[in-house]
Amino acid sequence: MVTAVVLIQAERALLEETAEALAALKGVSEVYTVSGEWDIVAMVRCKSNEAVADVVAGKMLQIPGINRTKTLVAFRSFTELDLDAIFPVA
Amino acid sequence: MVTAVVLIQAERALLEETAEALAALKGVSEVYTVSGEWDIVAMVRCKSNEAVADVVAGKMLQIPGINRTKTLVAFRSFTELDLDAIFPVA
Amino acid sequence: MVTAVVLIQAERALLEETAEALAALKGVSEVYTVSGEWDIVAMVRCKSNEAVADVVAGKMLQIPGINRTKTLVAFRSFTELDLDAIFPVA
Amino acid sequence: MVTAVVLIQAERALLEETAEALAALKGVSEVYTVSGEWDIVAMVRCKSNEAVADVVAGKMLQIPGINRTKTLVAFRSFTELDLDAIFPVA
Amino acid sequence: MVTAVVLIQAERALLEETAEALAALKGVSEVYTVSGEWDIVAMVRCKSNEAVADVVAGKMLQIPGINRTKTLVAFRSFTELDLDAIFPVA
Amino acid sequence: MVTAVVLIQAERALLEETAEALAALKGVSEVYTVSGEWDIVAMVRCKSNEAVADVVAGKMLQIPGINRTKTLVAFRSFTELDLDAIFPVA
Amino acid sequence: MVTAVVLIQAERALLEETAEALAALKGVSEVYTVSGEWDIVAMVRCKSNEAVADVVAGKMLQIPGINRTKTLVAFRSFTELDLDAIFPVA
Amino acid sequence: MVTAVVLIQAERALLEETAEALAALKGVSEVYTVSGEWDIVAMVRCKSNEAVADVVAGKMLQIPGINRTKTLVAFRSFTELDLDAIFPVA
Amino acid sequence: MVTAVVLIQAERALLEETAEALAALKGVSEVYTVSGEWDIVAMVRCKSNEAVADVVAGKMLQIPGINRTKTLVAFRSFTELDLDAIFPVA
Amino acid sequence: MVTAVVLIQAERALLEETAEALAALKGVSEVYTVSGEWDIVAMVRCKSNEAVADVVAGKMLQIPGINRTKTLVAFRSFTELDLDAIFPVA
């Protein structure tokens, strides 16, 4: 499984709607509105880099209110949790 | 539960050890080494902002190899998952 | 009580009106027009991170003239004053 | 009364001590450890710009652990509170 | 007397007119068009921070061609000149 | 006469001494300690660009505590004052 | 042969079309959509700096969706591959 | 003679026309289209800072396609060439 | 195959040695010294994100002279070439 | 002929010596000390990109006092002068 942390700057007036729409996307496991320079953090978990791109550069395009994104692709995950069980990828 | 996304710039030579040490901290649920401007993303989940600070500005201090951190405190989470069940906070 | 320091870049021509409108918001205790890179600093004091978000990403949206905001969520406060008495949060 | 908002980057290992030492300074009314690019916000309230400088460029120098500061001098304050009564300046 | 150094980015096509209009403002003693990242430097000399704000965030608003300003409020002046005599403030 | 506005980042612990030493330099008419990203602004007034360089890259070198400078060379001055009379250049 | 690495920020909604159009240009050997601050990396291989400019500042202009480019001109290449054979330049 | 190095960001679609128009200006000796963050470098050589300003903030205004300029005014030149002979200034 | 474009800032005095050592690494297909803000671009081609991390955060650590790296992980490649044939990955 | 404009940040105390040493290098036609963010601009004129690299990443290494360089490689030159005659390249 490939995990990506997507940092998002969003239209202030659409913040909550944007976060909700992101959370409803297949491939997006959790979405957080956050303090600071970025407005939203979306956790994307897919089978491959190509599938991450399909979410970030594909499906996310149908969601209005996103001004800028920066995608951090995970090289490796470190956790005591069984991420594959918690976040099953179709 | 308060979630915080901690972006970390780490000493290159200690990257994997740093990530492992972070993942072993109480209050840290997952750690990812990532591509780009930041080296590591740590997900912190605690009961309050003060508890997040105890992790970020307290426990993390015992870990060598961390050069810079930027903490994004979550205002709200959007997910179909039951985060409180997945990430129980003592 | 959660305190947040909101740094704001505002439309120059609306600066004073924007500051006044911000100061009238419930949850905002003080507003300062300031020198330098930022135009306005608003002190937000609420019961929780969610309530801070309701002010910063919610109520502030009805105020015109705000171009960019950066919210610094306080982890802990250090003061000899009794902030809870001075700034009662409903 | 002149108010100044001082944004501070501090040595991670000394964060809490630095915040406490700042809060004990005459002329500093409140100190907050915060999330994001800055580590500490100190509210300075004095009689004049010169007095603010005596705090920021003078007294603060005896405090170890401060790496960088950015001082936002307030032009005007907007609040329903009586700041002069709450924060009496000698 | 409070001195403020105002760094200004201006519309290229209006540079000289903008500089002339700034120099004609009460509270502005000298204006320089300069090389580099900023286009104009205006020296503002007033009785108080509030009066500086009236110039920078008030009167300057009637002048077209100003895109961005950064105001450096002086804490203290060091000179062998008698600035109060040279730049009398009403 | 060539005017240059020199923005200076200085060692915090030496700020006032640095400002005083700068003000005593031939060719420097006024020095201000200021709020924000820069610590000191020095006004340099000389006969030519070469003479400005002799001050900025020459004499200033004997002054400890200066970390970084940015020199804005003035193209033209706009003022009702007689700058040549106020700031005679040998 | 002169190689240039062109970093490109592109219109999110046109990302894949832009990448495909770039890859079809004569002088462009490979195009990658990438994570992070830049959206696309294009490898340009030509006979001279002038020919690189014809691609970057010329042919690329017919492609919609490109917001910003930064061209890194290679001084020298280090590889065990025979780049001239792999990427023949007309 | 005063030399200034003008760094220019230009409209991509007009790059070559802009460079040609710049090169035809009196006071501009050479123009280069370049790789990287800036698009064009123009060498300006005039009798005084005021004359440089007349070129940079005056004549250049008639040329379309220039988005941003940064002018580096030379303090001194170091060369074995006789610049005054090569670049005679009227 | 996962491709990554690694932007590298290197010690000036070791530039060529660093580039040569990078090119000799398994998983690195080509290395370019380049003009501008970055000094070296290395093309990394591996079987997975983890394998890319083994190169970037692992093997590259034995190479002296590397100050900073930014890794752009490719989502997709667009080319008429058969990259898998040209750059076989063990 | 390939022209490169090299922007240089230099040790303040060695500025003039550095400029003189640069000007004496084969391949460097002119050097200017300049105002602003950069300290020195060196004009490099060579037969190829490789030769430019030999100057910028090679010969310049023997010169002390250079902290940072940014090289802008020219794609094309626009001038009424005969640059090849003025700046003969061996």
**pLDDT tens digits, one per residue of G63-77:** 999 998 999 999 999
Q: pLDDT tens string for chain I (90 positions)? A: 899 999 999 998 899 999 999 999 999 999 999 998 899 999 999 999 999 999 998 899 889 999 989 999 999 999 999 998 998 886
CA neighbor of I66 nearest in space, from I6, I4, I26, I24: I6
Rg (CA), chain H: 13
CATH number, domain D2-76, options 3.30.70.920, 3.40.50.1000, 3.20.20.70, 3.30.450.20:
3.30.70.920
State yes or no: ipTM above 0.95: no
State whether A4 and G35 contact (CB < 8 Å). yes
d(CA B4, CA A33): 10
Distance (Å) from the alpha carbon of F47 to chain C's nearest alpha carbon? 32
**Pick among I12, I33, I38, I40 to test the J interface (most J CBs inside 10 A):** I12
Main-chain dihedrals φ then ψ at residue B14, nearest 5 degrees: -115, 15
Better-predicted residue by pLDDT, F44 or I1? F44
> Residue E60 has which token pair?
């300057």
For every residue of chain F, which 3-state class applies, written as one string? CEEEEEEEEECHHHHHHHHHHHHCCCCEEEEEEECCCCCEEEEEEECCHHHHHHHHHHHHHHCCCEEEEEEEEEEEEECCCCHHHHCCCC
d(CA F44, CA F64): 18
Mean pLDDT of chain A: 93
Does the domain at G2-86 match CATH 3.30.70.920? Answer given as yes
| Domain extents in chain D | 2-76
Distance (Å) from the alpha carbon of H75 to chain J's nearest alpha carbon? 5
d(CA E5, CA D73): 13
* pLDDT at B38 (0 to 100): 94
* pLDDT at D90 (0 to 100): 63
Judge whether C65 and C20 are in contact, CB under 8 Å.
Answer: no
How much is the average pLDDT of F47-60?
92
CA neighbor of F4 nearest in space, from H70, H75, H68, E69: H75
pLDDT digit string (tens) for H35-75? 988 999 999 999 999 999 999 988 998 899 998 899 999 99
Give domain J2-80's CATH architecture: 2-Layer Sandwich (3.30)
Task: Give the Cβ contact number of residue G4 at 10 Å.
Answer: 29
**Pick among B48, B49, B55, B77 to test the C interface (most C CBs inside 10 A):** B49
Judge whether H35 and G73 are in contact, CB under 8 Å.
Answer: yes
Any idea how long chain E is? Answer: 90
* pLDDT at H89 (0 to 100): 82
* pLDDT at G88 (0 to 100): 84
| Chain J contact partners (≥3 CB pairs within 8 A) | E, F, G, H, I
Closest chain F residue by Cα to residue D70: F36
Residue J59 burial (C-beta neighbours within 10 Å; 0-12, 13-18, 19+): middle
| B50 contacts in chain C (CB < 8 Å) | 75-76
d(CA I32, CA I48): 23
Strand ranges inside C25-84, DSSP E: 28-34, 40-46, 66-78
Q: Which of D60, D66, D72 lies at the smallest CB-CB distance from F35? A: D72
Give domain F2-77's CATH architecture: 2-Layer Sandwich (3.30)
Q: Which residues of chain C have pLDDT under 70?
A: 90
DSSP letter at D64? T
Percent of chain G with pLDDT over 70: 99
* pLDDT at H35 (0 to 100): 93
d(CA I64, CA I67): 9
> Residue A39 has which token pair?
């407005």
Distance (Å) from the alpha carbon of F35 to chain D's nearest alpha carbon? 5
Q: Is the dihedral of CA G54, G57, G60, G63 positive or negative?
A: negative
Q: Do chains G and J touch (3 or more CB pairs under 8 A)?
A: yes
Judge whether G23 and G31 are in contact, CB under 8 Å.
Answer: yes
How far, rounded to the nearest angstrom, does the alpha carbon of residue E71 sit from its chain's CA centroid? 8
> Residue E14 has which token pair?
């209006």
> Residue D35 has which token pair?
């999330």
> Residue E57 has which token pair?
């965030």
What's the farthest any 2 CA atoms get from each other in chain J? Answer: 38
* pLDDT at I66 (0 to 100): 93
d(CA I85, CA G81): 12
Q: What is the CATH number of domain B2-75?
A: 3.30.70.920
Beta bridge partners of H42: H6, H31
pLDDT digit string (tens) for B18-45? 999 999 999 999 999 999 889 999 999 9
* pLDDT at H90 (0 to 100): 62
Residue ranges of chain E whose CB lies within 8 Å of a chain D CB? 2, 49-50, 52-53, 56-57, 73-76
Print burial letters for I35-69: b (CB count within 10 Å at least 16), e (below 16). Answer: bbebbbbbbbbbeebebbbbbbbbbbeebebbeeb
Judge whether G83 and G89 are in contact, CB under 8 Å.
Answer: no
CA neighbor of D82 nearest in space, from J52, C29, G87, E15: C29
Distance (Å) from the alpha carbon of F54 to chain C's nearest alpha carbon? 30
State whether E37 and J35 contact (CB < 8 Å). no
Q: Is the dihedral of CA G58, G60, G63, G65 positive or negative?
A: negative
